[in-house]
Chain A
Amino acid sequence: MTAVIEVQHLTKNFGKVEAVRDASFSFAEGGIHGLLGRNGAGKTTLMKLMTGQEFLSSGSVKIFGKSPVENASVLGRVCFINESQVYPEDFRGKHAIKAASRFFSGWDEAFAHELIEDFGPPLNRPIKKMSRGQRSAIGVIIGLASRAELTFFDEPYAGLDAVARQMFYDHLLADFSRHSRTVVLSTHLIDEASNLLDRVVVIDAGEILIDADAEGLRSEAVTLVGKATAVHEFAAGREVLGVQQLAGIASVTVAGLDDNARRAAADAGLEVGPVSLQQLIVSRTSGRTSATKEGADS
């Protein structure tokens, strides 16, 4: 498989702020890739760098093997749906969709109509008067109907309700299996999207924290629940990602347990359960952030 996106030692500074620091990762062609992280972690900046909207400070970004900056042959195959996309003043929903239909050469008008029907955004309403969810629907429709070979969705469903989000997942999966597309999705709702994702890149404070196969990542850690004493005894000396305790019952998230260790845990009377992607990422990022803060305070 060829890499559609190749990022190497990428750094982006805004004045003194390092928004992205020495990031390296690559995404293979085809598949839905997650770009996850907290607010302000650098997800949007990273997407802007990958679509030539921002200029990098150092390192390299290759999309389809070439730099995307001012490169029409690359950008013509890319669609970037930005959560904070600014639309022209007085643009109505229909104007945005009409304009998009001209700019994206793979645009599927029939599909666009189907999506409009499903998501039902008020096409005659000025976009600046739309709710967040309605604006998101416009973005989702454009992103899906563009049929771009590489599509970036940055928080595509901010403000959308659960039904609309499910609709988005369904359309994305269906369309993605029929047409060869590579999708990069950034989202807060990690668990909801986790079973869509093939690969996961987690960025925190501008640095790539995790770059792994979603399946592999999930099996990397387990949750152990049981009597506090037994749990702590077992967890001692292991890589603990999170601890919760209520009365005499404790639950810990432990990384790096092989099959033998899992059996041992079960034998010790502990309940071994899967860890959700969200839990895993939260424990990795929150732990790190507090460690950084302590470091900064001292």
Chain B
Amino acid sequence: MTALTSDAPHGTPGLGERLWDVVRLHTTNPWTTLILPPLITLGIFGLNYAIWALVSRAAGAELESDAFANNGGVLWILVYMMVTAIQAMSDTFRFALGMSVTRREYYLGTSLYFAILSVIYATGLTVFGWIEQLTAGWGLGGYFFAPFGTADQSLGLRAYAFFVLLLMFFFLGTVFASVWMRWKVNGLLTMLFTIAVALIGLAWWLTDVGLWGSVGDFFTGNSPLGLLTWTLPFTAATALAGFGLLRRATP
């Protein structure tokens, strides 16, 4: 199979090759990560479309033109990708270790796969958003693939938004997955409780020092592009946390 690396008895494959093997491990059974998410997305879109058609038929001319412009249904895929990351990792980690893969190779390969999935899904959602634009909201003024009135934004920005948000939720998923694999339910509960305490503590502190105004300024002052880019350092932090936690996980 690996004719190019033949110095050692069997040849030691390079890191890139090992990472790609991990990617292939995830795609061996494509149902969870590649088939189900588009199916459910299209299913939800179909239901939305049916409701739009029903409402516009009932309302007739009285319908406001932007009645269906503020749909957020597509954002479910972000949360679902976090679940997918948890499923994919808890599903394959023990098997990968049984195939003599190191945790490092496993985590890097899995991260690569999640990045590829983010590109695929961001592209898919943007293409549907583009068709949606061309058809003026599927002929009904319904905007499913441009959530919350973002249909007037450029396709490039929308693709970027989908990509960085998908990435963020995937890597949040790696943290949850790693915690799950090391400490199971108790670990997850402790983590969720700690996060809740930290957020409330942060809110107290912001109130105490009177910084809420600055927080508001951050969100209104930054452009959408700037805000989206701010997710990247956060995503990188979660990616590092996920790796740090997984490094000591045992099957």
Contact = CB atoms under 8 A, between A and B. Distances in A.
Interface of A: 48, 51-55, 70-73, 75-80, 82, 85-91, 95-96, 98-107, 109, 147-149, 180
Nearest to B105: A72
26 contacts: A53-B97, A55-B248, A55-B250, A70-B102, A72-B105, A77-B8, A77-B9, A77-B10, A77-B12, A79-B100, A80-B100, A86-B94, A88-B92, A91-B95, A95-B28, A95-B29, A98-B28, A99-B25, A102-B24, A103-B100, A104-B10, A105-B11, A105-B12, A106-B9, A107-B1, A109-B1
B19 to A, nearest CB: 11
Contacts of B103: 70
A103 B101 contact: yes
Contacts of B92: 88
A70 B15 CA distance: 13
Contacts of B66: none
Contacts of B13: 76, 105
Nearest to A87: B95
B188 to A, nearest CB: 19
Nearest to A69: B102
Most buried by A among B5, B18, B97, B98: B98
Nearest to B251: A53
Given A53-B250, A88-B92, 8 more contacts: A53-B251, A72-B102, A76-B100, A91-B95, A99-B28, A103-B21, A107-B1, A148-B10
Given A86-B251, A102-B24, A72 B15 contact: yes
Nearest 6 pairs of A and B residues by beta carbon: A106-B10, A103-B99, A75-B100, A86-B94, A105-B10, A88-B91
Contact of B100 (A78, A88, A91, A98): A78
Contacts of A71: 102
Contacts of B11: 105
Main SS of chain A's interface residues? loop
B104 interface: yes
Contacts of B91: 88-89
A152 to B, nearest CB: 10
A105 B29 contact: no
A102 B102 CA distance: 15
A94 to B, nearest CB: 9
B184 interface: no
Interface centre among B95, B99, B100, B248 (most CB of A within 10 A): B100
Contacts of A91: 28-29, 95
Interface string B94-118: 1101111111110000000000000
B30 to A, nearest CB: 10
Contact of B102 (A52, A89, A107, A109): A52
Interface residues of B, number: 34
A148 B103 CA distance: 19
B238 to A, nearest CB: 21
Contacts of A78: 100
Contacts of B8: 77
A236 B29 CA distance: 66
Given A72-B18, A85-B95, A105-B1, A54 B12 contact: no
Nearest to B104: A70
Contacts of A51: 100
A147 B1 CA distance: 13
Nearest to B247: A70
Contacts of A95: 28-29
B109 to A, nearest CB: 11
B223 interface: no
B231 to A, nearest CB: 30
Given A90-B31, A98-B28, A73 B12 contact: yes
Nearest to A75: B100
B9 A149 contact: yes
B2 interface: yes
Q: A52, A78, A87, A88: which has the most chain B beta carbons within 10 Å?
A: A88
A76 B101 CA distance: 8
B21 A102 contact: yes
Contacts of A105: 1-2, 5, 10-13
B27 to A, nearest CB: 10
B17 to A, nearest CB: 9
Nearest to B28: A95
A218 B105 CA distance: 44
Given A86-B95, A107-B1, A149-B10, A75 B101 contact: yes
A51 B10 CA distance: 18
B95 A88 contact: yes
A109 B1 CA distance: 9
A76 B247 contact: no
Contacts of A70: 102-104, 247
Contact of B29 (A82, A90, A102, A148): A90
